[in-house]
């Protein structure tokens, strides 16, 4: 008997236990009988068991048209952009039954921008049977509905406010309020207001929250000399919890001295702020009043607290300015910043050709005035001032001789009463006139004050630096060449005289819909 040495040798097999298998009761596929759940294979379990059962497939999202915020139940409104994480979290929180499963992934699906539908694709996991975990993906569709939030509802209700700021200034013109309006617009200090109402001698700003009003008051104190008083009124009180609800009112009174005003300081006050001559001009108003003595170029700052401890009225304002003609001017060589000391001989423009009366004075406008120019100033000779501070100066042996006949204030540029168009413009606040509808004469005075303010902006470079000027929307007008030809034909060549604003100082206005044109 022969034996093949290359043939494989069979060794006695070692006993290895085999897993017990059964057949799926649904499809007949062999499965592990010890780990099977209900005698079903994994594919059949996925077909027969729905782990997302009980989870909503549709929902509603509420958004506010005005502020574009979303309602987070029960009463919170949150800001969230489309397809953002915040909006996705809001969508998941609104689904009932989602807390019973484990969220693996969630993302937005593309929908038409104007369909008012938002679709979210969600992947969840849940244990179907012991040892069997199923993963399932489904879609949820949300309908976007519009609902006005309480804050926006309050903005359309005039009597619903929690705090108000009353800004007042008792002066006969609105130049200070026009300047304050531009500062508020530039820094966006009015964004939290729910209403702005125009009242006599000032404006009322209404806020929904007290901290917004306090923030606005802090802004006012940082840009203007103002005195603030606070008051509160009890609206309601819960006797069970001792919870009280108040309305707060902040009264802000602006100092009644404006730019280019003539003031007569009390002698003690003039000595305390730098021993300046009591009769001075106000050349700027910031957080304090900046005064200058035109005869010596001495300047002084009048702090707000010092003024309110001993308040006084101005001696004359811009409505009492008189036009003079410079006959001769001679610089003296002294300079203080942009002011140059000079001696000038002037005559009233109304007296030319009537009499030969001239006045000799010192002025701080030596850098801008030339012989033949027109200048605005206060005519003190023969003028009666019902002012106790000025009477004290006249009776004083020290200061009576220092009162000049004429005090020049600023150069006067001959131009049309109201230009048809400007290459620049200013924004205006939307104010509620309320019951104070202006009469025709009042409207004409307001237009005159606004035109005076615009001319101040053109003439004062320092004033322009604190404001935001925008490029005006040019309409179909005559070209520059046509204007030059018309000026040559009429003999008017005031293009070089009237100050112009460079285009480099102007900003582009991207919000044309909310701008009131100056024209």
Where a domain ends, among 150, 185, 201? 150
Q: Is the pTM of this model over 0.75?
A: no
In a domain, 361, yes or no: yes
What is the Cα–Cα distance from 64 to 145, expressed in whole angstroms? Answer: 9
Q: For residue 96, how many other CB atoms are within 10 A of its CB?
A: 10
Q: For residue 330, how many other CB atoms are within 10 A of its CB?
A: 10
**21 lies in which domain range?**
17-48
Query: Quick one: which of 241, 233, 235, 189 has its CA closest to 212?
Result: 189
Where a domain ends, among 380, 411, 442? 411
Verify that 87 and 123 share a domain, yes or no.
yes
Q: Could you list the mean pLDDT of each consecutive 10-residue stretch along the chain, which spans 519 residues?
A: 49 55 75 63 74 84 90 88 90 84 89 89 81 82 90 68 90 86 90 85 88 94 92 85 88 92 92 91 90 92 91 89 92 90 92 86 91 91 86 86 89 72 83 63 80 87 86 58 44 57 76 47
Verify that 321 and 341 share a domain, yes or no.
yes
Number of domains in the chain: 3
- Would you state the pLDDT for residue 485? 43
For residue 377, what is the enclosing H or E element? strand 374-379
In a domain, 373, yes or no: yes
* Per-residue burial over 358-386, b = 16 or more CB atoms within 10 Å of its CB, e = otherwise: bbebbbbbbebbeeebbbbbbbbeeeeee
What is the Cα–Cα distance from 366 to 362, expressed in whole angstroms? Answer: 9
Give the torsion sign (CA, 191, 196, 198, 202): negative
In a domain, 369, yes or no: yes
Angle value at C-alpha 218, between 207 and 274, nearest 5 degrees: 145
CB-count exposure of residue 479 (10 Å: 0-12, 13-18, 19+): exposed
Where a domain ends, among 105, 122, 150? 150
What are the angstrom distances between the C-alpha of 23 and each of 20, 32, 38, 128? 10, 9, 11, 20
Q: Is the distance from CB of 189 to CB of 202 less than 8 angstroms?
A: no
Verify that 27 and 113 share a domain, yes or no.
no
Peptide bond preceding 74 in cis form (omega within 30 of 0)? yes
Verify that 26 and 104 share a domain, yes or no.
no
In a domain, 431, yes or no: no
Verify that 99 and 31 share a domain, yes or no.
no
In a domain, 64, yes or no: yes
In a domain, 100, yes or no: yes
What is the Cα–Cα distance from 64 to 66, expressed in whole angstroms? Answer: 6
Verify that 41 and 93 share a domain, yes or no.
no
- Would you state the pLDDT for residue 484? 46
Verify that 344 and 384 share a domain, yes or no.
yes
What are the angstrom distances between the C-alpha of 153 and each of 78, 184, 237? 16, 24, 24
Q: What is the DSSP letter of 182?
A: H
In a domain, 513, yes or no: no
What are the start-end ranges of the E strands in 66-159?
69-72, 76-79, 102-109, 117-129, 132-146
- Would you state the pLDDT for residue 465? 87
């Amino acid at each position: 008997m022969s034996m093949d040495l290359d043939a494989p040798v069979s060794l006695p097999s070692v006993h290895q236990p085999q897993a017990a298998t059964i057949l799926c009761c649904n499809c007949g596929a062999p499965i592990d009988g010890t780990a099977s759940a209900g005698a079903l294979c994994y594919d059949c379990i996925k077909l027969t068991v729905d782990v997302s059962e009980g989870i909503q497939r549709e929902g509603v999202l509420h958004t506010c048209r005005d502020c574009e915020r979303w309602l987070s139940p029960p009463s919170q409104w949150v800001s969230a952009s489309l397809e953002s994480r915040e909006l996705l979290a809001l969508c998941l929180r609104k689904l009932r039954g989602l807390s019973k499963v484990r969220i693996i992934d969630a993302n937005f699906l593309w929908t038409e921008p104007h369909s008012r539908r938002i679709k979210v694709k969600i992947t969840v996991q849940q244990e179907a049977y012991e040892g069997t975990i199923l993963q399932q993906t489904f879609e949820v569709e949300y309908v976007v509905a519009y609902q006005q939030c309480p804050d926006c509802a309050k903005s359309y209700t005039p009597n619903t406010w929690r705090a108000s700021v009353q800004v007042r200034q008792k002066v006969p013109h609105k130049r200070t309020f026009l300047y304050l309006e531009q500062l508020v617009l530039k820094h966006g200090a009015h964004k939290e207001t729910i209403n702005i109402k125009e009242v006599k001698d000032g404006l009322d700003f209404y806020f929904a929250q007290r901290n917004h009003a306090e923030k606005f008051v802090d802004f006012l104190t940082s840009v203007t000399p103002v005195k603030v008083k606070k008051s509160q009124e009890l609206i309601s009180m819960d006797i069970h919890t001792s919870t009280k609800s108040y309305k707060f009112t902040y009264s802000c009174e602006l100092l009644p001295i404006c730019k280019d005003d003539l003031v007569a300081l009390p002698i003690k006050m003039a000595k305390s702020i730098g021993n300046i001559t009591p009769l001075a001009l106000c050349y700027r108003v910031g957080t304090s009043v900046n005064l200058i003595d035109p005869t010596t170029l001495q300047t002084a700052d009048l702090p707000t607290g010092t003024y309110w401890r001993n308040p006084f009225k101005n001696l004359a304002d811009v409505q009492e300015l008189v036009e003079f003609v410079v006959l001769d001017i001679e610089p003296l060589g002294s300079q203080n910043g942009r002011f140059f000391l000079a001696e000038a001989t002037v005559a009233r423009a109304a007296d030319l050709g009537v009499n030969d009366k001239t006045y000799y004075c010192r002025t701080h406008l030596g850098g801008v005035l030339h012989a033949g120019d027109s200048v605005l100033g206060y005519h003190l000779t023969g003028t009666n001032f019902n002012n106790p501070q000025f009477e004290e100066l006249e009776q004083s042996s020290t200061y009576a001789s220092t009162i000049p006949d004429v005090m020049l204030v600023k150069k006067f540029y001959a131009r049309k009463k109201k230009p048809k168009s400007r290459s620049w413009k200013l924004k205006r606040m939307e104010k509620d006139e309320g019951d104070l509808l202006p009469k025709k004469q009042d409207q004409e005075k307001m237009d005159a004050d606004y035109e005076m303010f615009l001319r101040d902006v053109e003439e004062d470079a320092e004033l322009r630096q604190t404001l935001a000027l925008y490029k005006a929307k040019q309409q179909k007008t005559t070209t520059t060449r046509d204007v030059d030809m018309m000026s040559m034909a009429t003999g008017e060549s005031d293009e070089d005289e009237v100050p112009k604003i460079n285009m480099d100082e102007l900003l582009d206005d991207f919000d044309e819909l909310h701008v009131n044109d100056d024209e």
